[in-house]
Chain A
Amino acid sequence: MLQYIARRVLMMIPTIIVVSIISFVIIQLPPGDWLTTYVANLEAEGELVEEDTLAALRSRYGLGQPIHVQYLKWVRGLLRGDFGYSFAWNAPVANLIWDRLLLTVVMSVSTLFVTWIIAFPVGIYSAVRKYSIVDYVVTALGFLGMAVPNFLLALVLMVIAFAWFNQSVGGLFSPDFIDAPWNWARVWDLIKHLWIPVAILGTSGTAGLIRVMRANLLDELNKPYVVTARAKGLRESRLLLRYPVRVALNPFISTIGWTLPALVSGSTVTATVLNLPSTGPILLQALTSQDMYLAGSFILMLSILTVIGTLISDILLAWLDPRIRFG
């Protein structure tokens, strides 16, 4: 097991390097170097830029030097926790991203769990009572859930809340708590606001997972060992949960690998519509205003987080299913 984990962690390293290169390319993609744009913007506002500051920034980020030198300088900064400078916010990127990343992680992970809690019993029921009314309803809802884009759901929910309850559903905190330090009251406030984005994000994932669970369980239900257990006189509910469901559970763990990137993707769009204080809106804003260090850092960190999430799911899966460990 330890060997497997070590191998898996080693495999992660090249992935993270490639992710960092891609993020760097995204930072570099807009035409011209950002410093020139920055100076032009400042001068347009009538502010003077001191030559010294400019020279310091230029050498700090290696501007004007070959591209690989710039990349290495950027990576060296990252390792020290220096993510660069956000010109739109006039603050170091490191000060801006952690809170928002944390909220994104909280949102994605809680969605993941909610998805499981709903998909698990519904999937089992749908498989055991195949072609029942509930099964048809679930299948229909599943297809709908996959076809409706997240942002549409967010918009509709917001309009309903606005029209009928006359309240705004945007944000993750009540006004009193927006700038408050972290404490239990603030966490509780977060939980009270979290359910809307979680419901929006969870729809398509739940729909997909129910389908997977149903299909897997249907495959298992026809296997001889189920018949044997039934012939032995095992109670149906016990039989079900003990054997086939356990085998069919694998997708819950193994799909984290692609559920997590999808959740992070989805939360970016949803958060933008709902204007949540997570990564979505600020990433969009950074991209449209070409605040590239901020945007690049977000893309990098989101990718690294999903890579770590995938790693955790792989380890869990190997722990649950020895066939993978030794395969």
Chain B
Amino acid sequence: MSTSLNREPTDAAVSMTALAGSAGEEERIYVATQWQLIWWRFRRHKVAMIGGVVTVLMYLVAIIAEFLAPFPVEAYSAKYLYAPPQRLYLFDREDGLRLNPHVFGYTSTVDAIAFRRTFEVDESQKIPIRFFVQGEPYKLLGLIPGTVRLFGPVDKTQPMFLLGADRIGHDVLSRIIYGTRISMSIGLVGVIISLTLGILLGGISGYYGGRADAIIQRIIEFIRSIPTIPLWMGLGAALPVDWPPLRIYFGITVILSLVGWTGLARVVRGRFLSLREEDFVMAAQLYGAGEMRIILRHMLPSFMSHIIASITLAIPRMILAETSLSFLGLGLRPPIVSWGVLLKESQNVRAVYSAPWLLTPALAVVFAVLAFNFLGDGLRDAADPYSR
């Protein structure tokens, strides 16, 4: 694996000694695989580590969304349209201080002129909140049935809107948690499609060069010179309205990947171009290794880390793109719940002004994108453990 180790080992050792800790561990560096070197270098990058942990946690949220969300995704109550967020109290002060997480209920009055409900906190209605409560039954990932939810009101019919409610009376917090699944996965699926295209076309471009390279480079330049959002809008609007949600989801992902692959293709091509000249590739050729074997066995491992870093930086762009498209109403549509679809509720300034909590899904977007960017930045720095 550590194919490039034959290149100036002393220099590498000098710079790596600092990474691995004490000077006595120099031995370890010489025998370490490239992945170990990358890991040592990455570990020193604190912000990237945090980004990585947050990313993993968000995917975890996506997987066990049903368990984490206090209410089912389609649950709503007409009594609590635009109910503001409740404050969570951890302690009960009535008879001494004791731990009793609770929120207060609402009393609502209907404003006959504006046709709106206004909500007041009703301190007499205490709604206790506990971990691992019995909630509405669900099927985790559509497979494993369960009724226990991580937290929620002890009496599941009582209102708990920690991040407020939307136009229809959905719990915003629950829907953000469900939205994680679509928003985080659309980036992943989109990147897999882009990666396939990128490795294939970028690989051909870089390995064979010549005319194939010229044509592919023209195509990439062309795609990069069109403004993407108008193009996506056009293609998104062309998806038939009567498609089932799952097909729309894949349609949008494919549309996003049509543009996304170019960046990855460039990275792959650049790596191929530089690796083609390396001694170890020549050695493999002289040894009589087949073309596929050289690519897969010798070249791929040495630029895998770069590809992983580029992927990590491509995912947040996909997430942002999906959010923008769905926000405009040309991407995913209800009943699919993604952060962008949730944000569509806040398109109107008056809605945002009177119910600013409708913007909270945007915080999830910013959070996810930041985590990915930090992680990707750290990975990119670590991807080449022999650089300074």
Contacts and interface: CB of A to CB of B under 8 A. Distances in A.
A310 B226 CA distance: 10
A26 B234 contact: yes
B229 A265 contact: yes
A287 B237 contact: yes
Interface string A175-199: 0000000000000000000000000
Nearest to A269: B324
Contacts of A283: 230, 233
Nearest to B323: A149
A159 B323 contact: no
Contacts of A265: 227-230
Contact of B235 (A26, A257, A296, A306): A26
A262 B327 CA distance: 18
B49 interface: no
A48 interface: no
Contacts of B347: 273
Contacts of A264: 227, 229-230
B230 A30 contact: no
Interface string A246-282: 0000000000011001101110110011000001000
Interface in B229-271: 229-231, 233-238, 240
A144 interface: yes
A31 interface: yes
A152 B362 contact: yes
A146 B373 contact: yes
3 shortest A-B CB distances, which residue pairs? A29-B238, A265-B229, A287-B237
Given A149-B362, A262-B227, A307-B225, 4 more contacts: A15-B221, A15-B225, A158-B349, A303-B230
A22 interface: yes
A93 B330 CA distance: 22
Interface string A281-310: 001100110100001101100110011001
A103 to B, nearest CB: 15
B287 interface: no
B224 interface: yes
Which of A19, A272, A279, A310 gathers the greatest number of chain B CB atoms within 10 Å? A272
A264 B233 CA distance: 13
A261 B370 CA distance: 23
Interface stretch (B75-83, B107-115, B351-359): B351-359
Contact of A257 (B224, B237, B349): B224
Contact of B330 (A26, A152, A162, A287): A287
A109 to B, nearest CB: 14
Interface string B140-166: 000000000000000000000000000
Interface of A: 14-15, 18-19, 22-23, 26, 29-31, 143-144, 146-152, 155-156, 158-159, 162-163, 168, 257-258, 261-262, 264-266, 268-269, 272-273, 279, 283-284, 287-288, 290, 295-296, 298-299, 302-303, 306-307, 310
B328 interface: yes
A288 B230 contact: no
Contacts of B221: 15
Nearest to B339: A149
Given A147-B316, A162-B349, A284-B233, A306 B226 contact: yes
Given A15-B222, A143-B374, A288-B329, A298 B230 contact: yes
A148 B367 CA distance: 9
16 contacts: A14-B218, A30-B238, A147-B366, A147-B373, A150-B324, A152-B365, A155-B359, A159-B352, A265-B228, A269-B324, A283-B230, A284-B329, A287-B237, A295-B234, A296-B234, A302-B230
A296 B237 CA distance: 12
Interface string B318-350: 001001100111100000000000010011010
A40 to B, nearest CB: 16
B383 interface: no
Interface string B208-230: 00000000001001101111111
B366 A303 contact: no
Contacts of A150: 324
B359 A287 contact: no
Contact of A287 (B218, B233, B353): B233
Contacts of A29: 234-235, 238
Nearest to A298: B230
Given A265-B230, A269-B328, A159 B349 contact: yes
B369 interface: yes
Nearest to A170: B349
B224 A258 contact: yes
Given A147-B366, A152-B362, A310 B230 contact: no
B370 A144 contact: yes
A293 B316 CA distance: 33
A143 B349 contact: no
Contacts of B235: 26, 29
Contacts of A261: 224-228
Contacts of B316: 147
A46 B369 CA distance: 51
A19 to B, nearest CB: 6
A150 B226 CA distance: 19
Contact of A155 (B240, B323, B352): B352
B356 A19 contact: no
B370 A143 contact: yes
Contacts of A163: 353
A269 B229 contact: yes
A149 B320 contact: yes
A307 B225 CA distance: 6
B227 A306 contact: yes
Nearest to B227: A264
A315 to B, nearest CB: 15
A146 B369 contact: yes
Contacts of A30: 237-238
B214 to A, nearest CB: 11
